[in-house]
Amino acid sequence: MSARHLVLVGLMGAGKTTVGQQCARLLDRSFVDTDETIVATTAMTVAEIFASQGEAHFRELERRAVADVCASPEPLVIACGGGAVLDPENRARLHSAGLVVWLQAPPDVLVARVGNDTGRPLLRNGGAATLERLALLRAPAYEAAADVIVDTAGRSIDEVAALVVEQWSDQCHTCG
Ligand code: S3P
């Protein structure tokens, strides 16, 4: 396998950012979150981009962020925004640039984790119903993107990160 980056995908609340930061520490790599890249380049929050320019514009920025981060010569740990894998171009890029790990959890666990977060525009009309719907709608895209699935329910960040790194070592012992 030619994977270099370790890529985390999954729904909002799956733990991509916190687990990704811990994996980066364990692997002694830099961590990049595509949402944070977008926020840094636009100087706007994700919620502001959705409100002022719409979701389609956000997805375009996300496509660029995914392409840029995949092209990094430095092997990274990458957390993708929850909707990034809906785009087939993103899926193909991520797949050829690294090992893609789907952090999975049932919707009730995701709801408990995201709480009343106002920074996620897609959840503003009710997190529970939206996450239930997105879980069904997006499962095929996560499945298509993922090389590996890690169940995060009932596990701490450290436990999930350790499992992810274990998978990484098993599947990518020859990767940079
Ligand atoms: C989104 C997930 C968010 C962010 C945006 C849209 C989605 O990222 O990209 O609010 O479509 O699932 P997180 O998954 O990091 O919360």
pLDDT of residue 1: 41
Ligand 1 centroid vs 173 CA: distance in angstroms? 30
pLDDT band at 125 (very low <50, low <70, confident <90, very high): confident
- 65 within 8 A of 87, measured Cβ to Cβ: no
Which residues are paired to 99 by β-bridges?
Answer: 6
Please give the Cα distance from 41 to 62 (Å, whole number).
11
Tokens, residue 21: 């930061």
Ligand 1 centroid vs 9 CA: distance in angstroms? 10
Tokens, residue 167: 């998978």
Ligand 1 centroid vs 141 CA: distance in angstroms? 14
Tokens, residue 103: 């952090």
pLDDT of residue 2: 45
pLDDT band at 7 (very low <50, low <70, confident <90, very high): very high
- 99 within 8 A of 76, measured Cβ to Cβ: no
Tokens, residue 46: 């994700």
Ligand 1 centroid vs 41 CA: distance in angstroms? 17
Choice between 120 and 152, residue whose per-residue pLDDT is larger: 152
Lining ligand 1 with CB less than 6 A are 12, 16, 35, 46, 81-83, 120-122
Pocket test for ligand 1, best of 33, 35, 64 (most atoms within 8 A of CB): 35
pLDDT per residue as tens digits for the range 53-86? 999 999 999 999 999 999 999 999 999 999 999 9
pLDDT per residue as tens digits for the range 10-40? 999 999 999 999 999 999 999 999 999 999 9
C-alpha pair distances (Å), 16 with each of 50, 101, 142, 160, 173: 21, 10, 13, 10, 22
At position 70, the amino acid (one-letter code) is C
- 160 within 8 A of 109, measured Cβ to Cβ: no
* Residue 118 reports pLDDT greater than 80: no
The ligand 1 atom at the shortest distance from the C-alpha of residue 134 is 12
